[in-house]
Amino acid sequence: MSEYLHSVSLDRSKCTGCTTCLKRCPTEAIRIRHNSASIIHERCIDCGECIKVCPHHAKVALTDPIDVIKGFKYAIALPAPTLYAQFQGVHKPEPIIAALLRLGFDDVFEVARAAEIVSYAISKALREQDRPKPVISSACPAVLRLIQIHFPALLDNVIDFISPMEAAAKIAKEEYARKHGVDIAEVGAFFISPCAAKMTAVKSPIGQQKSYVDGVIAIKDVYKDMRAAMHKGFDPVEIERASTVGIKWAVPGGEADALGIKSSLCVDGIENVKNVLEQIENARIRNLMYFEGLACVNGCLGGPLTVENSFVAKNRLRSVMSRTEQKSVQRTKIFETACETLRMTEEIEPNNSMQLEGTMKERIAMSERINEIEKSLPGLDCGSCGSPTCRALAWDIAHGFANELNCIFKMNARINALAAEMVTLGTSTRFNTLQDSARLREMRQELRADDDTV
Amino acid sequence: MIIKETYPVAADDMSVAGDVSASIKRQMKRLGIPNQIMRRVSVCTYEAEINLVIHSDGGEIDFAISEDEICVHVRDVGPGIPDLDKAMTEGFSTATSEVRNMGFGAGMGLPNMKRNADGFAITSEVGKGTDIVMTFNI
């Protein structure tokens, strides 16, 4: 976990340092310094909030270009169910699957199909005794990272199964290699993604040594070409198809619904998820079996790499589902083996980047300093200093990342005080003049020095 | 070295009940207090805060951390508990049905606090107020 690779990053040439993203970051991972945002990588959970709110499109998600599939002899597309809701006038998956094949993929494996298998495995695992309740879904990678940072006490509650995307890559590659008698190393699986955090989840996986996915391609990057491919009409597609059980994972509450759990709670929107996890941590929600937290409003349909408005997409997906098989039609053998093979192999470690360092004594001393500094700040949480809250600025000052005069109120007070002093000096007697001009020089230097550190 | 913070808790305002215990939890998270301990302290401060809001005429919570101990001191300005033994019995509650409907007042507050703290001392005088000191070993 020492090395982080992040999908969410900054295009410095577009950033104006406007602070819009600053206050929306759920892990206080953004600072504005020298008129530009910067991301504290240890804290970023790739939720994509900053991408969604940035008025200058300076926050971007790094994903793979479509050419990535050329690195493998055989390429399989793994469309997220969200993809089925992106195209106006398209109310079934067939043309979409056909369009993917036209883009150069050799095969398509619906992530929704894997979601059905994962649903089965999870619902069986939920019957195991001594699991701390509520069991928390592992599907949303941004929420997983949020738990690592903010709610480490809840890590034991997270279900120890890999996500449908991972399961799809694993099963798709195995099936393809077996069916066509080729070496599995020559088969690449590529996720067609609504989500920036999935890219990070592939590069720095949680709960697995290595991801089964070989590339993550943004929906918005293939949208145009797929649209064009669809206009050309299509031949019938012969692949094993997903039912609504898997497709509805794209909609909030769909996962719990697929698991058939009555006592479940689904929350979408990262701030909402944070609030409810807080309640769960305080044991304020009783008799809850399953918690599904989704970083984006409207779940994966609201992902930062989508094209369609998420509410419109939700409606369209409902229409897609009404034309799809309602029950899973897959072989039960995959389902049974999945209960073991799709388990996570690694522990999910807490992320301590929002904790103080050192011995308990040092941490207490540092905390005391931060509290003191915070009390001296105005408490308006205006963000003008470049830190999201006064408390965050206090932390930054105590760690030497900022100074008190980053606060515009402090700066203002300081300028007023210096101005008043200058007036006094200006009206002073000739007797003091020599001494005073020395003081004036000093003050000028002081101001300049402050300016340098800012 | 010790950190001590005092948080006032106003009576009757259920909409802000939980804010103080959230602040305390944030402090503990920042300090890296082990999860098990943090959880117990959170349960106790939350119960105490809710008690102050529902039952008291207002009060304060002191939160102090030293290298080896956390101390939570809860005190209010009244009305005081007439029968402490009864109040410490699980299931006993004087909460109104309105409060119960909100999911509180199950009579588990004080016993729950006692169970979760390593040290628990309570004194109360009718007309004066209630004073609770809870300690937790780190």
DSSP A368-404: HHHHHHHHHS------TTSSSSHHHHHHHHHTTSS-G
Residues of A in contact with B67 (CB under 8 A): 360-361, 364
| Cross-chain Cβ contact B67/A368 below 8 Å | no
Which one of A146, A157, A364 makes the best mutation probe of the B interface by having the most chain B beta carbons within 10 Å?
A364
**In chain B, what residues touch A360 (CB-CB under 8 Å)?**
31, 67-68, 138
**Domain with A153 in it:** 66-341
Beta strand pairing call for A215-218 and A187-193? parallel
pLDDT tens per residue, range A334-352: 777 777 889 999 999 988 8
pLDDT at B41: 93
Taking alpha carbons only, the member of A422, A447, A441, A362 closest to residue A398 is A362
Name the domain boundary from A280, A313, A341: A341
pLDDT tens, per residue, chain A with 454 residues: 345 578 888 888 999 999 999 999 999 999 998 889 999 988 999 999 999 999 999 988 989 999 999 999 999 999 999 999 999 999 989 999 999 999 999 999 999 999 999 998 898 888 887 888 899 999 999 999 999 999 988 999 999 999 999 999 999 999 999 999 999 999 999 999 999 999 999 998 999 999 999 999 999 999 999 999 988 777 777 788 888 889 999 999 999 988 888 899 999 999 999 999 988 987 778 889 999 999 999 999 999 999 999 999 999 999 999 988 877 666 677 777 777 889 999 999 988 888 888 888 899 999 999 999 999 999 999 999 999 999 999 999 999 999 999 999 999 999 999 999 888 877 766 556 666 677 777 877 877 776 665 4
Within its chain, how far is the Cα of B121 from the centroid? 12
CB contact under 8 A, A150 and B29: yes
User: Closest partner residue to A283 among B25, B29, B43, by Cβ?
Assistant: B43
Which of A65, A136, A75 lies closest to A101 in space, CA to CA? A75
**Any idea what DSSP says for residue A283?**
T
In a domain, A347, yes or no: no
Could you tell me which of A148, A177, A143 has the C-alpha nearest to residue A252? A143
Per-residue DSSP letter, A130: T
Q: What distance in Å separates residue B97's CA from the closest CA in chain A?
A: 19
Cα(A86)–Cα(A313) distance, rounded to whole angstroms? 6
Residue in chain A lying closest to B70 (CA): A364
Report yes or no on A353 lying in a domain. Answer: no
Identify whether residues A57 and A70 lie together within a single domain: no
CA distance A41 to A183: 37
Cα separation, B115 vs B87, in Å, equals: 14
Tell which A residues from 25 to 84 touch B, by Cβ distance under 8 Å: none
Contact at CB, B32 and A150, closer than 8 angstroms? no
Cross-chain Cβ contact A355/B32 below 8 Å = yes
Nearest chain B CA: its distance from A73 CA (Å) = 48
By C-alpha distance, the chain B residue nearest A281 is: B39
> Which tokens hold the place of A192?
């067609």
The residues pairing with A291 across neighbouring beta strands, listed in sequence order, are A136, A265
Q: Is residue A350 part of a domain?
A: no
CATH number of the domain bearing residue A370 = 1.10.15.40
How close is the nearest chain B Cα to the Cα of A418, in Å?
Answer: 34
pLDDT at B87: 80
Q: Are residues A227 and A270 in the same domain?
A: yes
Residues 6+ apart with CB under 8 A from B132: B48, B72, B73, B74, B75, B113, B120, B121, B122
Q: Which residues of B touch A363 (CB under 8 A)?
A: 31-32
Q: Is the Cβ of A285 closer than 8 Å to some Cβ of chain B?
A: no
Is A109 in contact with A239 (CB distance < 8 Å)? yes
Structure tokens at A209: 């040594």
Q: At what angle do helices A219-231 and A94-102 cross, to 10 degrees?
A: 100
Task: Report the candidate in A27, A52, A50 with the shortest Cα–Cα distance to residue A40.
Answer: A27
Question: Are A223 and A307 in a shared domain?
Answer: yes
Q: Strand B119-125 vs strand B69-76: parallel, antiparallel, or unpaired? A: unpaired
* Residue ranges in chain B modelled with pLDDT below 70: 1, 90, 92, 94-95, 97-108
CA distance A317 to A30: 34
Do A222 and A326 lie in one domain? The reply is yes
Cβ count within 10 A of residue A97: 22
CATH code of residue A24: 3.30.70.20
* H-helix or E-strand spanning residue A37: strand A36-39
Q: How many residues are there in chain B?
A: 138
> Residue B3 is nearest to which of A283, A354, A368, comparing CB atoms?
A368
Chain A contact set for B46 (CB, 8 A):
282, 284
**Contact indicator for A313, A97 with CB cutoff of 8 Å:** no
Given phi > 0 = left and psi -120 to 50 = alpha, else beta, which region is A183? beta
φ/ψ (deg, to 5) at B67? -65, -35
Residue A201, domain member (yes or no): yes
* Nearest CB to A364; choose among B38, B42, B65: B65
The CATH architecture to which B3-137 belongs is 2-Layer Sandwich (3.30)
pLDDT of residue A124: 87
Q: Are residues A47 and A115 in the same domain?
A: no
Q: The tokens of A286 are what?
A: 């009783």
A153 touches chain B (CB under 8 A): yes
Same domain for A273 and A414: no
Q: If you compute the radius of gyration of chain A from its CA atoms, what whole number of angstroms results?
A: 27
Task: Give the number of domains in chain A.
Answer: 3
How many other CB atoms sit within 10 Å of the CB of residue A90? 19
Residue A149, token pair as written in the block = 């940072």
Smallest CA-to-CA distance from B134 within B122, B119, B115 is with B119
C-alpha–C-alpha distance, residues A332 and A322, integer Å: 24
**Quick count: other Cβ atoms within 10 Å of Cβ B56?**
22
The residue behind tokens 């004594």 is A361
Residues of A in contact with B45 (CB under 8 A): none
**Running DSSP on this structure, what letter comes out for residue A19?**
-
Helical ranges in B6-126 per DSSP H = 19-31, 35-55, 84-87, 97-101, 109-116
Is A53 in the same domain as A78?
Answer: no
Would you call B31 and A283 a contact, using CB atoms and an 8 Å cutoff? no
Residue A39 placed within a domain: yes
Determine the pLDDT at residue A341. Answer: 87
CA dihedral (B40, B46, B50, B51) in degrees, to 10, reads 40
Q: Kindly state the tokens that stand for B23.
A: 């602040």
Residue B7: list chain A partners with CB under 8 A.
none
Q: Is residue A346 a part of any domain in this protein?
A: no
Q: How far apart are CA A81 and CA A108, in angstroms?
A: 12
> ipTM score of the complex?
0.76
Q: Which of A341, A375, A405 is the last residue of a domain?
A: A341
Q: Which residues contact A330 (CB under 8 A, 6 or more apart)?
A: A113, A116, A117, A240
Q: Give the E-state strand segments of A96-235 in sequence order.
A: 107-108, 135-136, 187-193, 215-218
Contact A278 B39 (CB under 8 A): no
Cβ(A97)–Cβ(A106) below 8 Å: no
Structural domain contains residue A412: yes
Report CA dihedral (A293, A297, A303, A309) to the nearest 10 degrees: 150
Distance from CA of B86 to the nearest CA of A (A): 25
> Chain A contact for B4, CB < 8 A?
no
Q: Is B32 on the interface with A (CB under 8 A)?
A: yes
pLDDT of residue A2: 40
Which residues numbered 36-95 in B keep a CB inside 8 Å of some CB on A? 38-39, 42-43, 46, 65-68
H-helix or E-strand spanning residue A178: helix A164-180
Neighbours of A135 (CB within 10 A): 24
The closest CB to that of A152, out of B3, B35, B138, belongs to B35
Residue A32 covered by a domain: yes
Which chain A residues contact residue B42 at CB under 8 A? 281-282
- A134 cis-preceded (ω within 30 degrees of 0): yes
The whole-angstrom distance between B106's CA and the closest CA on chain A is 13
**Is the domain of A239 the same as that of A130?**
yes
Residues A236 and A336 in one domain: yes
Same domain, A383 and A449: yes
> Residues of A with CB below 8 A from B25's CB?
282
Same domain flag for A289 and A385 = no
Q: What are A59's strand-pairing partners?
A: A10
CB spacing of B31 vs A152 below 8 angstroms: no
Residues A105 and A220 in one domain: yes
Contacts of A386 (CB under 8 A, 6+ apart): A17, A19, A22, A31, A32, A33, A402, A406
Among A341, A376, A408, identify where a domain stops: A341
Helix then strand then coil, in percent of chain B rounded to 5, is 40, 30, 35
Chain B residue closest to A286 (CA)?
Answer: B103
The DSSP letter of residue A212 is: S
Residues of A in contact with B104 (CB under 8 A): none
Name, in order, each residue with C-beta under 8 angstroms of B94's C-beta and a sequence gap of 6 or more.
B55, B105
